[in-house]
Chains A and B, each alone.
Chain A
């Protein structure tokens, strides 16, 4: 006997992601899922944002990593609540790992939560975790053809940052071609150019964030 199922394999994950979203909403926590290849600048961006918004916005961080806790330690030094998730070999965070981390954070004291996902442009795009916005970071040394190689990631993105623009004179990165490719995959995405090292462009990113927080 054949039984129709027609259900997404990841529907159980999606269900938990929705519960995470409700938990975040009921505590008024605006949450950004930060995704990129390893080394594109996720931790650097989170650190720079914490430093700039210190005193103005209460920030919390969840650090996803396959096994190490170096990033969590660096962020902990900034004096913000941070929870480390070791995925134990999995190349992405999923909704239930995220739920466990959320249960260990003082959510009522947090206005803005960053979730640094595992450095990976493939699987992280497939597992919803309940964040309000998906942020994808590309960095100029990676080359400008990433969006065509990993289109799914760019179709789930709400905002894309091009990081390491201080290196533009030294690398082969065609910013216009990159932006056009991303916009073609995803018309509504917003794209900002930044450098976490020199601080260039960070103001625009911060005003985007503060706008989101006001409309939360």
Chain B
């Protein structure tokens, strides 16, 4: 799927930020991934191992923090986790729900040497 494109973009972004501080080595990359982003961590790891070989981030540890989907009820303003795609407000049973979390896909930080 699109994990190859994501991995390429990830490597570009990490490289830019590591070079900016004159790092010699990237040891860890902390990525935040929303549950909705349709992102398969294992296959990003697979591509990353190949594509990072010989770069500043070779052998870096990829860490993924998953953010569960959450919605806010437009009727009663309750915020709740959306489980198994059940878009119903647990408080008032309303179904007009705004997505407030779950589509994240960003690099939170990198640990460098």
Residues of A participating in the B interface, judged by any CB pair closer than 8 Å? 1-13, 90-92, 94, 122-123, 126-127, 148-149, 151-152, 155, 180-181, 183-185, 187
Which DSSP category, helix, strand, loop or mixed, fits chain A's interface?
A: mixed
Beta-carbon contact of A9 and B2 below 8 Å: no
**Does the CB pair A5–B17 fall under 8 Å?**
yes
Q: Is the CB of B9 within 8 A of A184?
A: no
Interface of B is mostly: mixed
Q: Are B105 and A9 within 8 A (Cβ)?
A: yes
Chain A residue numbers with a CB within 8 Å of B111 are 1-3
Contacting pair A5 B107 (CB below 8 A): yes
Chain A residues with CB below 8 A from B74, complex form? 187
Smallest CB separation, A164 vs chain B (Å): 24
B2 contacts A152, C-beta separation under 8 Å: no
B contacts, CB < 8 Å to A: 1-2, 4-6, 9-10, 12-14, 17-18, 21, 23, 31, 36-38, 74, 85, 87, 95-97, 99, 103, 105-113
Asked if A7 and B99 make an inter-chain contact with CB atoms under 8 angstroms apart, the answer reads: no
A2 near B109 with CB under 8 A, answer yes
Closest Cβ of chain B: how far from A136's Cβ, in Å? 16
Interfacial chain B residues near A5, Cβ < 8 Å: 13-14, 17, 106-110
Chain A residues within an 8 Å CB radius of B31: 9
Contact B96 A151 (CB under 8 A): no
Task: Determine the chain B residues whose CB is within 8 A of the CB of A126 once the complex forms.
Answer: 2, 37-38, 105
- Report the minimal beta-carbon distance from A75 to chain B, rounded to whole angstroms: 25
Complex CA gap A151/B31 in Å reads: 22
Q: Is B10 touching A123 in the complex (CB atoms < 8 A)?
A: no
7 contacts between A and B (CB under 8 A): A2-B111, A3-B23, A4-B109, A10-B6, A122-B1, A126-B2, A184-B95
